[in-house]
Amino acid sequence: MTPAADPAVATHLAEVQQRIRAAESRFGREPGSVALLAVSKRQSAGAIRAAQAAGQLAFGENYLQEALAKMADLADLPLEWHFIGEIQSNKTRQIAAHFRWVHGLADAHHAERLSRQRPPGLPPLKACLQINVSGEATKNGVPPEAATALLAACRQLPGLEVVGLMAMPAPAVGEAAQRQPFLALRQLRDRLASPDCPLRELSMGMSDDLEAAIAEGATLVRIGTAIFGARA
Ligand SMILES: *Cc1c(COP(=O)(O)O)cnc(C)c1O
């Protein structure tokens, strides 16, 4: 066990919650309709413990081995773990076993492995399809024109529930420029959604652009630096 340290985490967490609530209000979103995922990659188990003590339950991790070590350290806490890193074939078994969500699903082969490897006792793994909406910061994600085929390949798989779309646009300056790729993701979602696959979740928005993402319909923002400070 690591000690719950750093009272700054609780302060920063409250500030981020306040930013989310303010953006919901400013953009006419339902109060409480935007969930906060605390991105804890390269942060200590102690920092996660501090955030949990302040009420945060959902945490996002990018690196499998690092995440598994922290999960073991924090096994006494009722946390919800989201894998937000790049999925690799040799990692799918442990991702399927240890996480509740994956955000970066961009490959039908990975989806098939996650489906097959999801342990039978667990609820379906929630998945967001990662879309490269416009000049993404990383090369991850499928281009919008490939989304229909990817969704068709993923949605019939047992053990996997496609709940929405995810994007990680290149950093942009100013709210208008930031909103553009988020709008594109929402419009793509609206085109792909159907009554039996409503794709309710839009995983978009980070520390520097969460307001723009909420303006365009984010249901989950992924926030690291603004909660935990700079990464090691
Ligand atoms: C690191 C990371 C974040 C958090 O970024 P911050 O700028 O620290 O808020 C969000 N999403 C993904 C996929 C990340 O890798």
Rounded percentage of the chain residues whose pLDDT exceeds 70: 96
Q: What is the pLDDT of residues 18-33, one digit of tens each?
A: 999 999 999 999 999 9
CA distances (Å), 2 to each of 37, 61, 80, in order? 21, 18, 18
Show the domains of the chain with their CATH numbers: 3-21+34-190+199-228 (3.20.20.10)
Percent of the chain with pLDDT over 90: 93
**pTM for the full predicted model:** 0.96
The pLDDT, as a whole number, for residue 5 is: 55
Q: For residue 208, give the ligand 1 atom closest to its CA.
A: 7
Mean pLDDT of all residues in the chain?
A: 95
Which amino acid, 186?
R
Distance 140 CA to ligand 1 centre (A): 14
Nearest CA residue ID for atom 5, ligand 1 = 224
Shortest-distance Cα residue to atom 11 of ligand 1: 222
Q: Could you identify the atom of ligand 1 that is nearest to the CA of residue 206? A: 9
User: What does the pLDDT read at residue 140?
Assistant: 85
* 167-187: pLDDT as tens digits: 999 999 999 999 999 999 999
Q: Which amino acids bring their CB within 6 angstroms of ligand 1?
A: 39, 41, 62, 84, 168, 206-207, 222-226
Q: Ligand 1 centroid to 196 CA: how many Å?
A: 30
pLDDT, tens digit (0-9, with 9 covering 90-100), for 114-144: 999 999 999 999 999 999 997 666 678 999 9
Closest C-alpha to ligand 1, atom 7: 207
pLDDT in tens, the chain (232 residues): 444 457 899 999 999 999 999 999 999 999 999 999 999 999 999 999 999 999 999 999 999 999 999 999 999 999 999 999 999 999 999 999 999 999 999 999 999 999 999 999 999 999 999 999 976 666 789 999 999 999 999 999 999 999 999 999 999 999 999 999 999 999 999 999 999 999 999 999 999 999 999 999 999 999 999 999 999 8
